[in-house]
Amino acid sequence: MKINKKLLPFLIPVITGLIIGSVVLIIHPSTGKKLGDIIYSSGVSVESYSYAVGRAAPSVMNIYVAHLNDDYTKPDTDNIITSASGVVYYKNGIIVTNYHVVTAGNEPDNGIWAQTRDGKIFKAFVVGTDRRTDLAVLKVETSDLPPINKVKKDPKVGDIVLAIGNPNNLGQTVTHGIVSALSRSGSGLLTKDQMNIRQGVQELIQTDAPINQGNSGGALINSQGLLIGINTASFNSESTYGIGFAVPTSMVTKVVDEILAHGKVERGYLGISDAEVSSLAQTTGVTVGFIDPQGPAFGILKIGDIIKKVDDVEIADVRQLIDLISQSKPGRTLTFEILRNNDPRTESITLTEDNTSIE
């Protein structure tokens, strides 16, 4: 069969591409799966998110805190204390859930268990926790659990999101909504049951996807099935609906990696809170409203001081100050430029460790 010479300029690139593609697939078979995922997801109907759920759901676990049975080997299914959710974050059985989920697991005769959506149950051990972000890292002895795929770009307000978890111990459930807001501040737990959503280290994702009791620790994914956050709290009352929060994946990864490396997250502690109200003339800086008598700032800073700079970094607001302090290691000495009764002063303060344990 003769080939028309006019077609050669078109056929040569096609044949070359097929040869290169075949070689790549032989050497790296996983490339074919990734390419298939891209092609398939690009053609998914906007009327269904079954592809996203199918991609992420196998990585979402049911988490249980339960009394142990008589021989201390399995959970007593008639004595479940807490039912919640978790996400397989890394291979070799590394699971992320919420701190407030696992606290009861430290009690005598209690244990923590992780269950796959097809019913397999594993004993889970706490690797480490971080109250400030309400995260906990668990480990189960298996390498068969699939880690969830994580988003690489920050979400945007208006993005479609799906929450996957175990609400009210009904079993794996999916709810739907959008990203309502970003960078909502939160300083972690006030008590074992109450979240502080004001100023803090969390930069929470706000969503209207229903997050019910038991969704805690579950996955918030986008329409491609990629993890954008770990569900952590919601505001539900007679007058409030559709306000839920998730810890963004970027922060989750930082916390998990530090816990795996050190067993905990180390943050500096200054021991002050802001006055919340500034004068109209004050455009930058943080006014000191409270000083912890046991904190390193006690005896150095005074109520009413305005913190203008820390280590030559100009402080615009309390959020910036919190970020700077929390990202500094305990034992580091910082230089504070302050105004006290309109007089400039410079003070040095050595940070201690942020102790976030709940009594």
Given a cut of 50, whether residue 306 has pLDDT beyond it is yes
Q: Is 193 known to be catalytic? A: no
Instruction: Give the residue with greater pLDDT, 112 vs 10.
Output: 112
Note the pLDDT of residue 87. 94
pLDDT digit string, tens, across residues 187-202: 444 444 444 444 455 6
Residues 6+ apart with CB under 8 A from 227: 56, 87, 148, 149, 150, 151, 219, 220, 221, 249
Q: Is 100 known to be catalytic? A: yes
Give the whole-angstrom CA distance, residue 83 versus residue 78.
Answer: 12
Note the pLDDT of residue 88. 95
pLDDT digit string, tens, across residues 62-101: 888 876 665 555 666 666 777 788 999 998 899 999 888 8
Tokens representing 342 are: 């309109």
**Catalytic residue chosen out of the listed positions 134, 274, 305, 354:** 134
Given a cut of 70, whether residue 43 has pLDDT beyond it is no
Give the whole-angstrom CA distance, residue 213 versus residue 173.
Answer: 12
HEC string for the chain: CCCCHHHHHHHHHHHHHHHHHHHHHHHCHHHHHHHHHHHHHHCCCCCCCHHHHHHHHHHEEEEEEEEECCCCCCEEEEEEEEEEEEEEEECCCEEEECHHHHHHHHCCCEEEEEECCCCCEEEEEEEEEECCCCEEEEEECCCCCCCCCECCCCCCCCCEEEEEECHHHCCCEEEEEEEEEEEECCCEECCCCCEECCCCCCCEEEECCCCCCCCCCCEEEECCCCEEEEEEEEEEECCEEEEEEEEEHHHHHHHHHHHHHHCCCCCEECCEEECCCCCCCCCCCEEEEEECCCCCCECCECCCCEEEEECCEECCCHHHHHHHHHCCCCCCEEEEEEEECCEEEEEEEECEECCCCCC
Q: What is the largest CA-CA distance in the chain?
A: 95
pLDDT digit string, tens, across residues 98-114: 888 887 666 666 778 88
Q: Is 216 known to be catalytic? A: yes
Question: Nearest-CA neighbor of 60 among 99, 114, 140, 105?
Answer: 114
Out of 89-103, 140-154, 315-329, which region has the weakest mean confidence (pLDDT)? Answer: 315-329
**Catalytic residue chosen out of the listed positions 83, 85, 180, 216:** 216
pLDDT digit string, tens, across residues 232-256: 876 655 555 667 888 899 889 999 9
Please count the other Cβ atoms lying within 10 Å of the Cβ belonging to residue 81: 15
Note the pLDDT of residue 211. 78
**Catalytic residue chosen out of the listed positions 59, 100, 234, 326:** 100
Question: Nearest-CA neighbor of 220 among 168, 161, 176?
Answer: 161
Give the whole-angstrom CA distance, residue 85 versus residue 28.
Answer: 34
pLDDT digit string, tens, across residues 207-222: 888 877 778 888 999 9
Out of 32-41, 75-84, 140-149, 321-330, which region has the weakest mean confidence (pLDDT)? Answer: 32-41
User: Whose structure tokens read 């109907």?
Assistant: 45
Reported as a pLDDT band with limits 50, 70 and 90, residue 155 is confident
Reported as a pLDDT band with limits 50, 70 and 90, residue 58 is very high
Reported as a pLDDT band with limits 50, 70 and 90, residue 185 is low
Note the pLDDT of residue 41. 54
Contact 334, 351 (CB under 8 A): yes
